[in-house]
């Protein structure tokens, strides 16, 4: 597993764009890719058309609380 992080304390320097573009490249190349944007402003979902809504959020993704069906 490879992990890449884009971090900045300043608002608006392009963290989402810098993370989303390589993520899209990896996904298009057939690599299993997960983008997680913890910024409170626009997220990668504003870059891509999503075909379904996730059953949980970041809290559930990191295993803090099981999603109930």
Domain of residue 49, residue span: 15-61
Q: What is the dihedral of CA 31, 52, 59, 15, to 10 degrees?
A: 60
Task: List the structure tokens of 51.
Answer: 């075909």
Residue 65 is predicted with a pLDDT of 66
Enter the pTM of the model. 0.58
The pLDDT of residue 30 = 95
Instruction: Judge whether 23 lies within some domain.
Output: yes
> Could you give the number of structural domains in the chain?
1
Does 19 fall in a domain?
Answer: yes
Residue 7 is assigned to a structural domain of this protein: no
Confirm whether 1 is domain-assigned: no
Mean pLDDT score across all residues of the chain: 78
> For the residues 28-44, what does the mean pLDDT come to?
79
Please check whether residue 8 lies inside any domain of the structure.
no
């Amino acid at each position: 597993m490879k992990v890449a992080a884009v971090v900045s304390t300043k608002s608006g320097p392009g963290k989402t764009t810098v993370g989303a573009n390589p993520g899209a490249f990896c996904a298009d190349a057939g690599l299993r890719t997960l983008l997680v944007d913890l910024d409170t402003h626009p997220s990668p979902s504003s870059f891509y058309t999503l075909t379904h809504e996730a059953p949980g959020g970041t809290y559930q993704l990191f295993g803090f609380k099981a999603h109930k069906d």
